[in-house]
Structure 1
Amino acid sequence: MNSPQAHWLADGRRLHLNHGPIDLIVEAFGEPDECRAAYTQAVARFETILIELVKELPELRLPAFFLAPRDFAGPTARRMEAAVMPLAECFITPMAAVAGSVADEVLAALLAGRRLDRAYVNNGGDCALHLSSGQSMISAIAGTGHGMADRV
């Protein structure tokens, strides 16, 4: 497995984080010092996420059981379990929530102790968003071919 990578995209605004199957685009908006500190926090948290998930992978691949949520060691695995519990009466594993949970975990690290206006973490289309009061963000859903109908 390769090691975690962090690089700025050509526009100099967005951070690309990659480690094995995890491929994130991260952008923060706010005061420059706050954004720099937020990016540093996000990179630090990202460095261990895949390693943590791999340690718990056998259990993450097992179906969730609605009467007995598991107590996973890592926060991302716990997010995954919590996300699928409402559907646990059906067959579902925490792996159904891996991309969104990784995005949520990196966004939480990005925001910890920071004052950002807006931020997002995009993990292959599973996005975590942060909007401060009075802020907005427009997101597009790629490939729909409907012009403005593909905006959220």
Structure 2
Amino acid sequence: MWERASAQWLDGNRLHLQHGPIDLVLRAWGAASALREAYDAAVARFQTVLPELTGELAELRKPMSARPQVETPVAQRMVTACRPHTGVFLTPMAAVAGAVADEILWVMTEAAPLDRAFVNNGGDIAVHLTEGERLEIALAADFSRGPIPALNGRLTLGHGDGIGGLATSGAQGRSFSLGIADSVTVLARDAATADAAATLIANTVDLDHPAVGRRPASALDPDSDLGDLPVTVSVGELTGDEIAAALEAGRQRADQFRKRGLIRDAALALRGEVVTLGPFTRMRELRP
């Protein structure tokens, strides 16, 4: 059993919520009374999120083709975010971090009127902006110098952009990936949608190459929803052309998602090289 959820204040008026594997940092702006109500609502709701997810894990680990049946709000967000992606292997767990962020942000904004707010779940971020408000987010997607990502861009979100969340996935992240991308960052209408899309785009940044090491996910984590699928554990030397080819495969998948209205933009990074979709400009500061 997990220990009880904890809450503590960080500098910059940020609130840190932690329960088992869920680790959130959030902040809101607005009237003092509204902030108290929003933070109290976030803390209260957070107590129940992990138990709810644990109770539905059997369904959440099923592939979408098996039509998982869930009842609790975060689980429903996960299934909804993954539902548009038919024909590929995907479980609702692909959207778990974004869905948790979305749920806590929704509770906060329902509790009180806020000018702006964010909930950051390990880099998967739900965002709330009212008219005239903006939020600047630093991006760390450069793994070319080592295992700790370096900052390589910033983006500024505004109320009229239609973006309520962003998420990052890749072989360098905290979850398994079928591809070799160092990172794929996606902007979408909510964090759960961005999370699922980032997972699939990152899986597509790939090469059949002897320098890529893979192992069954089950050998690394017996409880993984990926089962025996081979996940990336190492990437050796690649040529410039090989890097470009892998990124282009992912860019094409991202562009398909954009044309379907699932995402607004994406930035794909591998070995210091970055590509973005282009039509939407918020990610262009990531270009090397």
Q: Between the two proteins, what is the percent identity of the paired residues?
A: 50
Deviation, 1:114, is 1.2
Q: Is the 8 A contact 2:139 2:151 kept in 1?
A: no
Partner in structure 2 of residue 20 of structure 1: 20
After the TM superposition, which segments of 4 or more aligned residues of structure 1 sit over 2 Å from their partners?
Answer: 68-71, 142-147
**What SS is found at the alignment partner of 1:141?**
strand
Relative to total residues, which structure has the larger strand share, 1 or 2? Answer: 2
Q: Which moved more, 1:136-145 or 1:97-106?
A: 136-145
Q: Which residue of 2 aligns with 1:151?
A: 154
Q: TM-score, normalised by structure 2?
A: 0.49
8 A Cα contact 1:70 1:81, kept in partner: yes
Higher relative CO (Cα under 8 Å, sequence separation at least 6) belongs to 1
User: In 2, distance between residues paired with 1:70 and 1:92?
Assistant: 11
Q: How many residues get paired? A: 147
* Alignment gaps of 5+ in structure 1: none
1:82-127 C-alpha deviation (Å, 9 max, x unpaired): 0111113210000000000000000001111411100000000000
Structure 2 residue matching 1:88: 3-state secondary structure: coil
Per-residue deviation at 1:143?
A: 4.9
CA distance in 2, matches of 1:118, 1:146: 24
Q: Distance in 1 between matches of 2:62 and 2:34?
A: 40
- Partners of 2:73 and 2:53 lie apart in 1 by 9
2:116 equivalent to 1:118: yes
Could you say if the C-alpha distance between residues 62 and 71 of structure 1 is closer, same or farther in structure 2, counting changes exceeding 3 Å? closer
The counterpart of 2:71, out of the listed 70, 73, 76, is 73
| Aligned partner of residue 151 in structure 1, secondary structure | strand
Which 5+ residue runs of structure 2 have no aligned equivalent?
143-149, 156-288
Instruction: Look up the match of 1:82.
Output: 80
Query: In 2, distance between residues paired with 1:58 and 1:35?
Result: 36
SS at match of 2:64: coil
Over residues 14-58 of structure 1, what are the superposed CA-to-partner deviations in whole Å (9 max), with x where a residue is unaligned? Answer: 000000000000100011110111000011110000000000001
The answer to whether the Cα contact below 8 Å between 2:140 and 2:151 also exists between their aligned partners in 1 is no
Q: Give 2:126's match in structure 1, choosing from 125, 128, 149.
A: 128
CA distance in 1, matches of 2:86, 2:72: 20
Match of 2:9 in 1: 8
Distance (whole Å) between structure 1 residues aligned to residue 24 and residue 75 of structure 2: 18
**Residue 59 (structure 1) aligns with:** 59
- Alpha-carbon contact 1:84-1:94 (below 8 Å) kept: yes
**CA-based RMSD:** 1.5
Residues 69 and 85 of structure 1 are in contact (CA less than 8 Å); yes or no, is this contact kept in structure 2?
Answer: no
- 8 A contact 2:64–2:89 mirrored in 1: yes
Greater share of helix:
1
Q: Which amino acid in structure 1 is aligned with residue 154 of structure 2? A: R
Query: How far, CA to CA, are the matches of 1:113 and 1:24 in structure 2?
Result: 18
Letter in 2 for 1:14: R
Secondary structure at the aligned position of 2:134 is classed as coil
Tell me the secondary structure at the aligned position of residue 112 of structure 1: helix
Q: 1:37-48 to 2 correspondence within 5 Å?
A: 37-48=37-48
The residue type equivalent to 2:7 in the other structure is A
SS at match of 1:103: helix
